[in-house]
């Protein structure tokens, strides 16, 4: 329940902190003053916040030296793909309407979070699964009963 409350608070803060471009008078159009661009921040801010949550979650697993769970990986890949698509769309909007840098920064943020959401789970695939047995083989130098050094090969199992 606490996670849901924190997510709602983060989304509301994100909506309040973003600078939405001001409306400007243009040529006469037949839309009645309505612009569908008002919905862009409403879609993009939850994507950015959710992407940041997945990036933080996967980073915690990496810091602990563990492979992230399948739910975190697949969720991050889906949200990361959506963030990459939104970033490309925002950069295309900036290219079409270069009067405001809003779409430029929005695209850069989306692309960065999308890259993290796709890259971190891929990186965590190289980590051992929790509870997995790992075997290592290496050189070994010990002493026999007479105190003479003996060289050999050592084999070690962990989490077994």
Per residue in 114-144, pLDDT (tens digit) is 999 999 999 988 876 666 666 777 787 888 8
- 3-state SS record for 74-126: HHHHHHHHHHHHHHHHHHHHHHHCCCCCHHHHHHHHHHHHHHHHHHHHHHHCC
**pTM exceeds 0.75, yes or no:** no
pLDDT attached to residue 114: 93
The structural domains of the chain, with segments of one domain joined by +, span: 2-18+36-131
């Amino acid at each position: 329940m606490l996670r849901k409350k924190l997510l709602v608070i983060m989304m509301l803060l994100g909506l309040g902190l973003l600078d939405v471009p001001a409306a400007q008078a243009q040529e006469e159009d037949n839309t009645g003053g309505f612009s569908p661009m008002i919905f862009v921040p409403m879609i993009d801010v939850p994507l950015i916040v959710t992407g940041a949550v997945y990036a933080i979650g996967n980073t915690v697993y990496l810091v602990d030296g563990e492979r992230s769970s399948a739910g975190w990986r697949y969720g991050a890949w889906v949200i990361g793909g959506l963030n990459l698509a939104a970033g490309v769309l925002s950069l295309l909007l900036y290219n079409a309407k270069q009067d405001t840098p809003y779409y430029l920064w929005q695209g850069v943020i989306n692309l960065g979070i999308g890259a993290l959401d796709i890259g971190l789970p891929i990186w965590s695939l190289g980590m051992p699964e929790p509870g997995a047995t790992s075997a290592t083989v290496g050189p070994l130098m010990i002493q026999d009963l007479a105190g003479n050094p003996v060289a050999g090969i050592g084999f070690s199992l962990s989490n077994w």
